[in-house]
Amino acid sequence: MAFDINMIKEVYANVVERVDAARNITGKPLTLAEKILYSHLWDSKSNKAFVRGKDYVDFAPDRIALQDATAQMALLQFMQAGKSKVAVPTTTHCDHLIQAKNGASTDLQSALNTSNEVFNFLESVSNKYGLGFWKPGAGIIHQVVLENYAFPGGMMIGTDSHTVNAGGLGMVAIGVGGADAVDVMAGMAWELKFPKLIGVKLTGKLSGWTAPKDVILKVAGIVSAKGGTGAIVEYFGDGAKAMSCTGKGTICNMGAEIGATTSTFGYDESMERYLRATDRDDVADAANEVKEYLTGDAEVYANPEQYFDQVIEIDLSELSPLLNGPFTPDLSTKAGSDMTAIANEKDWPLKVEWGLIGSCTNSSYEDLSRAASIAQQAIDKGLSTKADFGINPGSEKVRYTADRDGILEVFENLDAKIFTNACGPCIGQWARYEDPKNAPKNSIIHSFNRNFAKRADGNPNTHAFVASPEMVAAITIAGRLDFNPITDTLINKDGQEVKLDEPTGWELPPKGFEVKDDGYLAPEEDGSSVEIKVNKDSERLELLTPFTPLGNDLSGVKLLIKAHGKCTTDHISMAGPWLRYRGHLDNISNNCLIGAVNAYNMKTNFVKSQLDGEYDAVPKTARAYKAAGIKTIVVGDHNYGEGSSREHAAMEPRHLGVAAVLVKSFARIHETNLKKQGMLGLTFANEADYDLIQEDDTFNFVDLNEFSAGKPLTLEVVHADGSKDTVLANHTYNEGQIEWYNEGSALNLIKKQNA
Contacts of 265 (CB under 8 A, 6+ apart): 32, 167, 168, 170, 234, 235, 236, 240, 248, 251, 252, 271
List beta partners, residue 632: 558, 658
Q: Among candidates 456, 463, 503, which has minimal Cα distance to 482? A: 463
* Dist. CA 77–CA 750, nearest whole Å: 10
* Dist. CA 729–CA 556, nearest whole Å: 17
Contacts of 678 (CB under 8 A, 6+ apart): 547, 549, 550, 654, 740, 741, 743, 744, 745, 746, 748
Q: Among candidates 168, 404, 368, which has minimal Cα distance to 268? A: 168
List beta partners, residue 12: none
* Dist. CA 477–CA 469, nearest whole Å: 12
How do beta strands 490-491 and 497-498 pair?
antiparallel
* Dist. CA 417–CA 648, nearest whole Å: 32
What DSSP designation does 573 have? B
Say if CB 87 and CB 185 are below 8 A apart.
Answer: yes
Strand, helix or coil for residue 687? helix
440: Cα within 13 Å, side-chain hemisphere: 6
* Dist. CA 613–CA 595, nearest whole Å: 21
* Dist. CA 277–CA 267, nearest whole Å: 16
Contacts of 222 (CB under 8 A, 6+ apart): 312
Contacts of 243 (CB under 8 A, 6+ apart): 202, 206, 212, 251, 270
Strand intervals (E) in 457-597 = 462-466, 490-491, 497-498, 520-521, 557-562
* Dist. CA 180–CA 65, nearest whole Å: 12
* Dist. CA 333–CA 322, nearest whole Å: 6
Catalytic positions = 95-96, 160, 450, 644, 646
